[in-house]
Structures are given as structure tokens and as C-alpha cells.
Amino acid sequence: MGAALTIRQVRARPVLVPLRRSVRTAVGAIPAAPLVLIDVETEEGATGRSYLFGYNAPSLMGPLAKLVEEIGAELKGEAVAPAERTRQLDRRFRLIGWQGLVGMAVSGLDMAFWDVLGHAAGLPVVRLLGGTPTPVRAYDSYGVVDPRADEGELARSLEAGFRGIKIKLGDGDLARDVEAARAVRGIVGPDVALMVDYNQSLDVAEACRRVGRLRELDLAWVEEPVAAEDLLGHARVRAAVDVPVQTGENWWFPRDMQKALAAGACDLAMPDLGKIGGVTGWLGAMGQGEAASIPVSSHVYVEASAHVLPVTPTAHWLEHLDFAGGILEEPARVIDGTVTARGPGLGLAWDEAAVARHAL
């Protein structure tokens, strides 16, 4: 199926998509989502789409889009065969490494390749992976919250059926963290999973101190309490606190996951499709998750995550943080707190009028 398709052209466009709910973190706010939209056109007429999320760095979306197109130009005439292209690009960038923008570009292209295959076959990607489109349990992901101002919004999340809520902490002192987390626990009740995310804002000693104080709130996990690359630091926090440690959104390709698991850095894993190597990289990561009996959740990329989690043996949670809805003809739908994969491909179709309005 893939061998019959040949890459003709790759287009990449930077956009800045306004968010219905701004995301404020300990290291900066995200009032709008900087994205790079990727289109892979084939000689046979099928087109694949994906996007990349740029966190709080809209100034880098232009260079990232250019890099995607440059790599795509090198792949012109090659078959749409994701595993083969991953090996080819691994060799191409081995000497400089493929972290950062290079890793994101490779991951985004891989997702678009899988989308091409799905469109050509008339199937959702989850079926190409051997699964079926099934509802995946999702949690609603917030930034730093003001429990009084955001109480109505949190109530709407519960009304939508979400059985998990994540909030970000670390923008103030310990007392502020405890006050916010305790207030949110009071709003959502004891039966809803409550996760907290520090976005790498603490050192090891402070992480142990703060998380130790928060354990009484029955947290489902504490996410990235220290610098993502500090694997031993994560292991020390994990050993000191009685709260599951979640990390993985900053793993570059499955090799980084292997290093983290070997270091005992986490109880839970959260690969990011835009960094782990797209769908192909996710398959390698989920195999490690199964071998280590580590629950695996997704990080952003709601639409594509709904395709890979149903085939993930230790699937845990899908993060619902809708960055692309504003430029999609049909945004991801939440039904009773779940998201179900749509097709063909990854189910992405650009709203070109919205894309034009939000072009960078």
C-alpha cells in the first residue's frame, strides 16, 4: 500500500491559533497556539496532513516550517513508507542529533506519512495499526488556575464527562500550590483524578518538599517536577514522595524513553507525538511501556493520540488540550469524557479560511 505512493511535495505553514482557554504555566503563558501545518502531497494524488505545536515560541514556527519543507524536498521521489523514512532520516541527522527543531520536523513528517496511508486506504490510522476506533478516556488539561475564577469552567469539564483534571503549579510558593490544588480537589470531588504539572520548575529538594505536602490530596500524578533531562533527579523525587511521577513529554524518540526507564525516572510515561518520532516512534515507545509495565498516556496532539492509544497495551489517559480546533473543519469531539479516532487517516482537514486568518 505505501510502496505505491511517492512523495511529490511537502508544504508547511506557520499559524497562531487563538485558544478558548489560555494556558498559563510556571515558565510562561500560551494565549494562542503556535502551530506548523504540514501537507505531504503524493504523485498519486493522496495528501497527508499533520501539525506541530510550538509551545510558547511563535518566533520559531517560521524556521520550523522552513526546515520541514527542506527535509521534505530531500524526500521527493521517495516512497511513503514511514519506517523506512525514519531510518533514512536517522542516518541523515545522526551526526548533529535530532533533538529540537529537527526532531519535531521528523516527527511531524512521520505523522503526515501515516495520514497519507490512511487516506489512500480509506481507513483511519488506528485500523492500519491493527486496532479499531474506540472511545479513549481523556482528562481535561488546564494551565495555572484561579479556583474562584475558574470554578465554572471546571464544572463544565465535569459536565462534559471528564473523570480527570490536570492543573499546573509552580508559579508561586508552596502555600499557593497547596491552596490551588486543595481548592480544585474540593471542586471536582474525591472521585475525579487530579493531576498536577510543575513544567520542570523546581529543583529536587523543593520538589520533594512541595509534593510531600500535596500527597494528602490523592494526586493521580505529579508531572515533570524537575528538569526533564535530569533523570536522576526525577528518580530521587520518585523515591522520596508517595505520589506517582509522570514524565516523557520531552523524550526525543524512543531512545530517550529507554534512558529514562533505565534510570528509574518515572512511574508513568507520557510520550509526545511531536517529539517521540510521530506514529512510528510511538510504536517503539509503547513497546517499551508494555515491557516495563508502565502506563502510557499521551501529551497534546488530541487527534493523533486517539489513533495510537487504542493499540497501546498499557494505555492510560489521553490529554485533552485542543490546540488545533480553531483551524480544523471538524475539531476533536469529547463525548462523555472520551475521544474517539476519526478517519480517513488521522481525521485532519484544514479550515482554509481560518488558516488564512491566523497565518503567521
Catalytic residues: 168, 299
Closest C-alpha among 306, 313, 315, 337 to residue 191: 337
C-alpha cell at 108: 511531524
- Separation of alpha carbons 253 and 143, rounded Å: 26
Q: Are 226 and 233 in contact (CB under 8 A)?
A: yes
Degrees to nearest 5, angle at CA 113 with 112 and 114: 90
- Separation of alpha carbons 358 and 360, rounded Å: 6
Q: Are 37 and 67 in contact (CB under 8 A)?
A: no
- Separation of alpha carbons 321 and 23, rounded Å: 9
Q: How far apart are the first and last CA of the chain?
A: 36
- Separation of alpha carbons 210 and 212, rounded Å: 5
Q: Are 327 and 37 in contact (CB under 8 A)?
A: yes
Which phi and psi (to 5°) does residue 130 adopt?
95, 10
Closest C-alpha among 272, 264, 250 to residue 292: 264
Amino acid identity, position 321? L
Question: If you ran DSSP here, which 8-state letter would residue 53 be given?
Answer: E
Alpha carbon 202 to chain centroid, angstroms: 22
C-alpha cell at 235: 528518580
Amino acid identity, position 102? V
